[in-house]
């Protein structure tokens, strides 16, 4: 029997996260992947998987994939694709699906089509012996036709470089991205992580059923929601008392004037029906030990404060400043000290070396200034192996990187940890000054251009007058 080939068809975003995601999910679900083509940045992976059920399980969790397709034809040109399909149909390829209702989807990668062209493309498959009726909403079988025009949108060839046709085996977990949309989420903060990246983190962290997952900078709990959706039982801690009690200044612009009410991480868990997976949130300073000494988490996910939209502070006494104490206030305000990004990260790694299970994963984001970036600056710890380092570009000059670590050994006294990421205050400074400079030069250029235009017009007028 011929072995079944599957085409995993991806959305073209977060490309550098793609391979890590698929490998992590396959590892969690214990599905062996046989690569029929080495993975590249092209929007597909060509693989062999043990069964259709495995394909479905794998794609159901992926948020970078769009759908998984059982490959029927893979040819360099459209005529050859049709020739190949015709022959296969004669050999009875379509037999099991002949009488079912169906639809054909067409995807052009790096090119576009009008509705008419799309219909034309669908019609071109009319030689296939379909007997069932077309059903666009709820078909029994969906077929996918793909034309690939390369990765560079500046050079689009006239004809596709590669074409695929196949039967859709399963859709991906991408609908979850919309389900968890921040727009409709009950409780969000200024730095809530977008759902796709949160779900990606849960996948990359290999969260699975029954796991105990910690977010030590929990904020409004975006990462917990994603981890809970994939079966993790979640705990979060944060230094911000008002945040965990849903009493910070409202985040949504439209409702800025209305104080938050009934907003909390727990309310989000209820909204997404994963309250069963919610354990607790705790107001605490992640830099200090407050866990029982032998507590062990299965996964630690974090988005540490960068100092752009939230302060990087922790509790501490500044000698020069008196401790803030409001007379008559029932709440005590401890003073805070600046807490640099490298210190945060080193503390997080030391903590994880003790409190993460062996082979468990630690993930966190760091902000970087793209032109200064260097792989060697990223944190290292002798208990951890860096599995992945994926960039999400934010602006022309800034980005953040998701670092994925796996704990490879039990901690010892001789362990070492280093981190030389240009510090958060530098980042903050640069983030604002560079942006200003950038805007300033742009403004100057604009002004210059306007001036030149004036001169040019003046000259033109002079010529006309003469």
Partner 1 sequence: MKLFTHNMLSSKVVNGVKVGYPLRIVAKDIKISESEFDKEFVKRIISKINWKVFVNAAKQIGYGKDLSEELINNYENNEEYLKKVHHLLMEVEVMNGELICPETHRVFPISDGVPNLLNED
The residues of the shown chain that bind partner 1, judged by CB under 8 A, are 209-210, 212, 233, 235, 239, 241, 244-245, 266, 275-276, 279-285, 288-293, 295-296, 315, 317, 323, 332, 334
Minimum distance, C-beta of residue 357 to partner 1, in the bound complex (Å): 10
Q: Judged by CB, which is closer to partner 1: 177, or 269?
A: 269
Half-sphere exposure of 323 (CA within 13 A, CB side): 8
Q: Judged by CB, which is closer to partner 1: 279, or 399?
A: 279
Minimum distance, C-beta of residue 279 to partner 1, in the bound complex (Å): 6
Q: Judged by CB, which is closer to partner 1: 122, or 279?
A: 279
What span, in angstroms and rounded, lies between the C-alpha atoms of 365 and 193? Answer: 11
Q: Judged by CB, which is closer to partner 1: 42, or 354?
A: 354
Minimum distance, C-beta of residue 120 to partner 1, in the bound complex (Å): 51
What span, in angstroms and rounded, lies between the C-alpha atoms of 332 and 325? Answer: 6
**Closest to 310 in 3D by CA, of 436, 182, 431, 190:** 190
Q: Judged by CB, which is closer to partner 1: 227, or 421?
A: 227
Each as own residue / partner, the long-range contacts of residues 410-416 (CB below 8 Å, 24 or more positions apart, any chain) are 410/358, 410/383, 411/353, 411/354, 411/383, 414/382, 415/353, 415/381, 415/382, 415/383, 416/380, 416/381, 416/382
Minimum distance, C-beta of residue 193 to partner 1, in the bound complex (Å): 21
Minimum distance, C-beta of residue 233 to partner 1, in the bound complex (Å): 6
Tokens 């073209």 map to which residue? Answer: 12
Query: Residue 305: CB partners within 8 Å, gap ≥ 6?
Result: 191, 217, 311, 312, 344, 424
Does residue 72 sit in helix, strand or coil?
A: strand
Strand partners, 336: 315
Minimum distance, C-beta of residue 244 to partner 1, in the bound complex (Å): 5
The distance of Cα 192 from the centroid of its chain, to the nearest Å, equals 13
Question: Do residues 1 and 36 touch, judged by C-beta distance below 8 A?
Answer: no
Q: Judged by CB, which is closer to partner 1: 234, or 379?
A: 234
Minimum distance, C-beta of residue 277 to partner 1, in the bound complex (Å): 9
Q: Judged by CB, which is closer to partner 1: 76, or 316?
A: 316
């Amino acid at each position: 029997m011929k072995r079944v080939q599957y085409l995993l068809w991806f959305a073209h975003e977060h490309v550098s996260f793609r391979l890590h995601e698929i490998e992590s999910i396959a590892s969690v679900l214990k599905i062996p992947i046989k690569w029929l083509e080495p993975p590249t940045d092209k929007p597909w992976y060509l693989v062999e998987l043990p069964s259709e059920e495995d394909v479905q399980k794998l794609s159901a969790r992926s948020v970078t994939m769009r759908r998984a397709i059982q490959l029927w034809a893979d040819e360099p040109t459209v005529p050859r694709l049709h020739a190949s399909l015709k022959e296969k149909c004669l050999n009875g390829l379509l037999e099991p699906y002949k009488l079912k209702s169906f639809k054909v989807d067409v995807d052009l990668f790096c090119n576009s089509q009008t509705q008419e062209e799309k219909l034309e493309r669908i019609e071109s498959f009319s030689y296939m012996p379909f007997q069932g009726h077309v059903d666009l909403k709820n078909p029994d079988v969906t077929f996918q036709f793909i034309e690939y025009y390369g990765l560079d949108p500046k050079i689009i060839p006239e004809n596709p470089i590669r074409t695929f046709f196949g039967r859709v085996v399963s859709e991906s977990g991408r609908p979850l991205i919309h389900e968890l949309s921040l727009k409709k989420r009950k409780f969000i903060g200024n730095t809530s992580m977008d759902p796709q990246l949160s779900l990606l983190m849960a996948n990359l962290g290999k969260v699975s059923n029954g796991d105990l997952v910690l977010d030590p900078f929990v904020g409004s709990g975006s990462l917990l929601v994603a981890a809970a959706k994939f079966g993790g039982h979640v705990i979060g801690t944060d230094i911000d008392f008002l945040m965990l009690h849903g009493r910070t200044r409202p985040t949504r612009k439209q409702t800025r004037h209305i104080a938050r009410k009934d907003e909390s991480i727990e309310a989000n868990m209820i909204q997404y029906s994963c309250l069963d997976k919610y354990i607790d949130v705790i107001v605490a300073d992640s830099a200090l030990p407050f866990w029982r000494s032998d507590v062990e988490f299965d996964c630690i996910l974090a988005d540490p404060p960068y100092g752009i939209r939230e302060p990087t502070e922790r509790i501490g006494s500044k000698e020069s400043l008196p401790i803030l104490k409001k007379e008559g206030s029932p709440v005590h305000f401890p003073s805070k000290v600046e807490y640099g990004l490298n210190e945060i990260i080193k503390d997080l790694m030391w903590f994880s070396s003790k409190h993460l299970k062996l082979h468990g994963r630690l993930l966190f984001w760091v902000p970087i200034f793209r032109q200064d970036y260097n792989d060697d600056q990223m944190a290292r710890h002798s208990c951890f192996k860096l599995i992945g380092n994926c960039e999400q570009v934010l602006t022309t000059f800034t980005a953040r990187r998701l670092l994925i670590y796996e704990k490879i050994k039990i901690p010892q006294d001789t362990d070492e940890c280093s981190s030389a990421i240009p510090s958060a205050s530098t980042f903050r400074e640069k983030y604002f000054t560079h942006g200003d400079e950038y805007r300033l030069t742009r403004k100057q250029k604009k002004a210059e251009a306007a001036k030149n235009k004036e001169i040019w017009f003046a000259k033109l007028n002079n010529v006309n007058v003469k």
